[in-house]
Amino acid sequence: MSVTAHSLRHLSAPLLALTLAACAPAPIYQSAPNAVVAVPSQVAQSPEHFTGNQVIWGGRIVQVQNFPDHSEVELLAYPLDSSQRPQANDSGNGRFIAVMPGFVEPLSYPPGALMTVSGKLNGSRAGKVGEADYVFPLVVTAQSHVWTPAEMEKGRNNIHFGVGLGVGIR
């Protein structure tokens, strides 16, 4: 094997990885220096330790409730990928409530849609999930994004590794 072919072979794997990573969209929100890395289920255990800290959380919308001066979106939390898209194939990390100023149109936040929020933790509220008692961390939302199916697919490659290399169609 020539020196050039040997060098190209060693460069091909890192270049392929870099090319695939370059396809993923950038994160939509800047992470704050005091951002909490805990998940909602952890925050619910001692919300007083986290009040005032920034979070970027996401998940699947459960329901929307509108009140005279604000709206609340209940979400089942999922981990976020590098683009801050919720990874709904995970088992979930608890629930939280995104508190949003003013009225939000429930049709714009449909149950089952995936959403990412950026905001500040502001305590918790006791509630119920079915008949079970539950503690919901409250996030005063500064920004939110409901993901479209096209956005969820963007940047995902159709290259799958196994024995050899194959390209599949999703």
For the domain that residue 98 is a member of, what is the CATH number?
2.40.50.140
161 or 123, higher pLDDT? 123
10 part of a folded domain: yes
The pLDDT > 90 percentage for the chain reads: 64
Q: Are residues 84 and 18 in the same domain?
A: no
DSSP H/E element including 62 = strand 54-66
The structural domain count of the chain equals 2
Asked if residue 116 is part of any domain, the answer here is yes
Evaluate whether residue 30 is within a structural domain. Answer: no
Taking phi over 0 as left and psi of -120 to 50 as alpha, with beta for the rest, 15 belongs to: alpha
Does residue 46 share a domain with residue 7? Answer: no
Q: Does residue 161 carry a pLDDT above 50?
A: no
Mean pLDDT in residue range 3-12: 49
Handedness of CA 105, 111, 115, 119 (dihedral sign): positive
More confident residue, 155 or 161: 155
163 shares a domain with 131: no
User: Is pTM, for the whole model, over 0.85?
Assistant: no
Range of the domain at 19: 3-23+156-167
Q: Which amino acid is residue 62, in one-letter code?
A: V
Q: Does 38 have pLDDT greater than 80?
A: yes
Question: Does position 8 have pLDDT exceeding 90, yes or no?
Answer: no
- Domain co-membership, 61 together with 44: yes
The reply to whether 83 and 60 lie within a common domain is yes
Number of H helices, E strands in the chain: 3, 7
The arithmetic mean of pLDDT across residues 104-127, rounded, is 96
Residue 104 shares a structural domain with residue 45: yes
Both 11 and 79 in a single domain? no
Position 33 in a domain: no
Residues 123 and 145 in one domain: yes
Residues 77 and 96 in one domain: yes
Residue 105 sits in the same domain as residue 130: yes
**2 — pLDDT class (breaks 50, 70, 90):** low
Averaged pLDDT score across all residues of the chain: 83
Q: Is residue 29 part of a domain?
A: no
- Whether 55 is in a domain gets the answer yes
- pLDDT(157) > 90: no
Residue 71 within a domain: yes
Look at residue 13 in the predicted model and tell me its pLDDT.
Answer: 47
